[in-house]
Structure 1
């Protein structure tokens, strides 16, 4: 917890140190991506046919896999997965362009800050990083898809094993459903942390694809609790901004069927706030990578992995 607090404080300090650069990036690059994210959930009711097709395909997949139809867990999972797939498709163009360009520019700022150049870098400086981030992001999508498939396969084996053994009572199904929710949440959270770190590793170490993901897994080894803790505040703030957008903007539009100037200004403010939280999330990932690197260097310099205080005899021998 102390290390996570230190990383978050360092991230906030770095944000305010380069405040003008980061706010410019949030306004020009991340703002379109945040707007697409906030609008994606609002457009689900207005696209019932497309959303219904996704939901029906997932329901058929669950039924073919032998999952119990009366389980509330799979009904809820079907709804959330349908929303996630719709949002992913809707926001994919802005994610592959504006968001990745913003990440490349933020990482370039940290590189240039060592030479006291704390301004938004020109496009010629961060465009080479963009192609590395693009390839790594595409591979991250494959990793996320694979982790989902692995969880569904495990749940498929569990539910079918229970059915074969003849103990598929409502209590057992409820227990497995709750365990499935916990397992799916943990696996998805760990996967997202690794993928976010892999983006930073790809830009800092000039590697792409599976190499960046493997290096991120090595760095996060033994620091999983810290990684999840530092990722929680920014994700919570972005989720709060998304909920506020739905409550303050979209609900008023549903009631009045029009946007007045105050609602438009509020929508702009919430979207910009969401963009700032995205910037802070990128900075937190960079600071976490920096802390992992500094920890590895200190371990390598001391020559052994287990630090311990020298005994008095060893101290006197060292002095001799």
Structure 2
């Protein structure tokens, strides 16, 4: 907790020290990605008694998949999981082009700000950073899909075992359901943290793909609690802005039935706030990477000193 608070404090200090650079990144690069994210959330917001047709289609397919896998699809946990997965899939597909372009470009720009190079960065170095980030982002998507597939395959085997034993009581099914909820949350949160740190590693250490994932996994060992606290801090802020957009823009549009100029400027303001928080989230990730790398280097230096002292004694 103390380490996470220190990282947040140093990140906010770094943000204001380079405010003009980060504000430009938020305006030019992050703003389109933020607008796509908030717009996707608005499309999921029900304008009448029924939700979006696309969301219903995805949700229906997931429900059929859960039922075919002998999951208790009518269970409250799997109903909630079905809804959240449907929303996540819809938002991810809707924002994917913006994440592959604007978000990766924004991370490359912030990485150049964090790399203390006496020479001004060239266009070739910037494009190389972007290429590394693009490859790593695509590999992250593959890793997240693989992790979800592995978790659901494990759950399928568990519920098949319960079905083989003839255990169909709702009270007994609650036990594997609760274990499934904890198991899925732990796996997904750890994979999300590693993928987020891998993007930073690919930019700062000039690597890509699985190499960045492996380095991120080494860096984050023993620091998962701090990473979860930092992710919670950022996600709560972003979720608050998303809720503000739903209340001030989406509901007002559905009530009025038209989109006027005042609503446009208010939506632009909320989107810019979301962009600023997104930039701060990236800055926090860079600060967390520096903290992890510094501690890892200090650990190996201490081990090398102890080995040298031991060899001298011998």
TM-score by length of structure 1 reads 0.89
Moved more, 288-297 or 174-183: 174-183
Aligned residues of 2:43 and 2:52 also touching (Cα < 8 A): no
Aligned residues of 1:67 and 1:159 also touching (Cα < 8 A): yes
Deviations 1:187-245 (A, max 9, x none): 22111111010001111111111110011111111111111112211111111111111
User: 1:70 is paired with a residue of what secondary structure?
Assistant: coil
2:248, 2:119 → 1: CA distance? 41
C-alpha displacement at 1:305, in angstroms?
10
Moved more, 253-262 or 179-188: 179-188
User: 1:25 is paired with a residue of what secondary structure?
Assistant: helix
C-alpha displacement at 1:174, in angstroms?
2.4
1:124, 1:270 → 2: CA distance? 34
User: 2:294 is paired with a residue of what secondary structure?
Assistant: helix
Q: Give the corresponding residue for 1:310.
A: none
Q: Give the corresponding residue for 1:107.
A: 111
C-alpha displacement at 1:122, in angstroms?
6.7
Aligned residues of 2:201 and 2:216 also touching (Cα < 8 A): yes
User: 2:194 is paired with a residue of what secondary structure?
Assistant: helix
- The question of 1:77 aligning with 2:81 is answered yes
Q: Give the corresponding residue for 1:288.
A: 288
Q: Give the corresponding residue for 2:147.
A: 147
C-alpha displacement at 1:158, in angstroms?
1.7
- The question of 1:67 aligning with 2:71 is answered yes
Q: Give the corresponding residue for 1:182.
A: 182
Deviating beyond 4 angstroms after TM superposition, the runs of 4 or more aligned structure 1 residues are: 121-125
C-alpha displacement at 1:29, in angstroms?
0.3
C-alpha displacement at 1:37, in angstroms?
0.2
C-alpha displacement at 1:300, in angstroms?
1.9
1:207, 1:259 → 2: CA distance? 45
1:61, 1:267 → 2: CA distance? 37
User: 1:259 is paired with a residue of what secondary structure?
Assistant: coil
What is the correspondence of 1:190-205 to structure 2 with a 5 Å cutoff?
190-205=190-205
Aligned residues of 1:107 and 1:203 also touching (Cα < 8 A): yes
What is the correspondence of 1:151-166 to structure 2 with a 5 Å cutoff?
151-166=151-166
C-alpha displacement at 1:48, in angstroms?
3.4
User: 1:303 is paired with a residue of what secondary structure?
Assistant: helix
Q: Give the corresponding residue for 2:233.
A: 233
Unaligned runs of 5+ in 1: 307-317
Q: Give the corresponding residue for 2:297.
A: 297
What is the correspondence of 1:1-320 to structure 2 with a 5 Å cutoff?
1-44=1-44, 45=46, 48-112=52-116, 115=118, 123-303=123-303
Unaligned runs of 5+ in 2: 307-312
C-alpha displacement at 1:123, in angstroms?
4.7
Aligned residues of 1:299 and 1:305 also touching (Cα < 8 A): no
Deviations 1:125-181 (A, max 9, x none): 422210110000000001100111111112112222222223331112223323322
1:18, 1:26 → 2: CA distance? 12
Aligned residues of 1:11 and 1:284 also touching (Cα < 8 A): yes
Aligned residues of 1:231 and 1:284 also touching (Cα < 8 A): no
TM-score by length of structure 2 reads 0.91
User: 1:43 is paired with a residue of what secondary structure?
Assistant: helix
C-alpha displacement at 1:53, in angstroms?
2.4
User: Once superposed, what is the RMSD of the aligned Cα atoms?
Assistant: 2.1
Aligned residues of 1:108 and 1:125 also touching (Cα < 8 A): no
Moved more, 208-217 or 293-302: 293-302
Aligned residues of 1:71 and 1:173 also touching (Cα < 8 A): no
Deviations 1:27-69 (A, max 9, x none): 1100000000000021135783332322222122111111123
Q: Give the corresponding residue for 1:315.
A: none
